[in-house]
Amino acid sequence: MSLSQLSFLPYLEHETAKRPKDFIPIYEPWLGETEEAYVLDAVRSGWISSLGQYIGRFEQAFAEFCGVEHGVSVSNGTAALHLALHALGIGHGDEVIVPALSFVASANAVYYTGARPVFVDVDRHTWTLDPEQFEAAITARTRAVMPVHLYGHPAPMREINDIAARHELVVLEDAAEAHGARMNGSRVGALGRIGAFSFYGNKIITTGEGGMLTTNDGLLADRCRMLRDHAMPPERRYWHEEVGFNYRMTNLQAAVGVAQLERIEQFLSRKREIAAAYLAGMENIPGITLPYEQPGYTNVYWMVSILIEDPFPLNRDELIRELRSRGIDSRPFFHPLDTLPFYAEEKPCPTAHYLGLCGLNLPSFPRLDDSQIEYICATLREIAQRSS
Ligand SMILES: *Cc1c(COP(=O)(O)O)cnc(C)c1O
């Protein structure tokens, strides 16, 4: 269903909160004149493929933003995860621990290498990888762990790094949803051996499609650079020691990325304001559990996410339909990965399953204005008060 179709849904009689004119989407990119200017500059320069000044500029600026030495741009976030795993030598016979609650790309990237994703349950509060369950799932075949900073909240990296070090496992951060999130001042992407980001259209900053690896390991960064370009060594053209990939980012994408990165602090502070406005607006609504921020960690609230629980009068899916009829888009949490037909596992992950049923993401894009947040909160409060 298109947005224009949705905006023609009838105005409902029982509505008391003042409804904005337009349908409120869950996310939209914020592109401005600088993005336009840089793209135009890239087009006019003729450097539209994967050579051109914006690539290096974007890689350097993004690495600096994360507080690491190296950034390696790639075609998308899934490619970033796959390339990192491949460059680390993970493949057939290996196991990689992945939280059961994530976007499917986290697990698929492991699967592409021939290794097996092993799903582990998440914490009830942060919704990220549970360190105890992680340690319990380690076997002789385990090579790596992929904490996911879900919806903008960092995974408990201190505990995860300790366990990984004791078992000699590689830590690959899936930071696709958490650009700028912190643990004690350090940014995600700098908290493991290597970090992977996405710049898809609805991520915190976007390049349309795009991704980046971040690391302090220079040899690993060089290996990723070579592998993303058909495994061609920089000093010997058309010679290939091994099978590589075409995972390069274009200069056009990087031009957008450089412009977005110039404004990321503005996006991040607006996103925290939005979260604070939602938290205040949804306080004490029976049956709505608000998002959490663990002490020592900074949530960037990629999505403002809530749980719809007893005694809320509608279940999560009914609420999504009701919100849509009132001009508000919302999204369910991911289906736990171990419930997908091609990953079905016997070991259950009850917390991920529970969250998968009752978790809901609300409109969270940085240009969402205060009156829209007020309308969304008033609508939720009104539904909650109905015949519960
Ligand atoms: C978006 C996302 C990805 C994949 O990024 P793409 O750029 O869409 O390939 C991977 N992991 C998580 C958690 C994501 O949200």
Q: What is the pTM of this model?
A: 0.94
Q: 333 vs 270, 278, 320, CA distance in Å? A: 23, 18, 12
Q: Identify the sign of the CA torsion 171, 177, 183, 188.
A: positive
Question: Distance between CA atoms of 208 and 259, rounded to whole angstroms?
Answer: 13
Q: If you measure from the C-alpha of residue 104 to the centroid of ligand 1, how many angstroms do you get, rounded to a whole number?
A: 8
Q: How far is the CA of 161 from the centre of ligand 1 (A)?
A: 22
101 with 122: CB under 8 angstroms? yes
Task: Give the ligand 1 atom nearest the CA of 106.
Answer: 11
- 106 C-alpha vs ligand 1 centroid, how far in Å? 7
Question: What pLDDT is attached to residue 12?
Answer: 40
- List residues near ligand 1 (CB under 6 A): 76-78, 102-103, 105-106, 148, 174, 176-177, 198, 200, 211
What tens digit of pLDDT does each residue of 209-259 get? 999 999 999 999 999 999 999 999 988 899 998 999 999 999 999 999 999
CA of 333 to the centre of ligand 1 (A): 14
* Residue 109 CA, closest ligand 1 atom number: 10
Atom of ligand 1 nearest to the CA of 148: 13
Atom of ligand 1 nearest to the CA of 76: 7
- Nearest atom within ligand 1 for CA of residue 102: 13
With the most atoms of ligand 1 within 8 angstroms of its CB, the residue from 76, 200, 256 to mutate is: 200
Please report the pLDDT score of residue 18 as a whole number. Answer: 60
- Is the predicted pLDDT of residue 119 greater than 90, yes or no? yes
Condensed to tens digits (0 to 9), the pLDDT of residues 63-103 reads 999 999 999 999 999 999 999 999 999 999 999 999 999 99
Mean pLDDT score, 336-351: 91
* pLDDT beyond 60 at 17: no
Residue among 26, 106, 112, 302 to mutate when testing ligand 1 (max atoms within 8 A of CB): 106
| Ligand 1 atom closest to the CA of 177, numbered from 1 | 15
The pLDDT of residue 14 is above 90: no
Mean pLDDT within 162-174? 98
DSSP 189-222: TSSSSEEEEE-BTTSSS--BS-EEEEES-HHHHH
Mutate to test the pocket of ligand 1, among 26, 103, 197 (most ligand atoms within 8 A of CB): 103
Atom of ligand 1 nearest to the CA of 200: 7
> Is residue 289 exposed (0-12), middle (13-18) or buried (19+ Cβ within 10 Å)?
middle
Ligand 1 midpoint to CA 203 (Å): 9
Q: Flag whether pLDDT at 346 surpasses 80.
A: no
Question: How many of the other CB atoms lie within 10 Å of CB of 36?
Answer: 13
List the one residue out of 290, 312, 313 whose CA is nearest residue 303.
290
Q: How close is the Cα of 379 to the center of ligand 1, in Å?
A: 31
Q: Give 8's pLDDT tier (boundaries 50, 70, 90).
A: very low
**What's the pLDDT at 205?**
98
- Bridge-based pairing of strands 359-362 and 331-332 is antiparallel
- The candidate with the shortest Cα–Cα distance to 150, out of 113, 170, 176, is 176
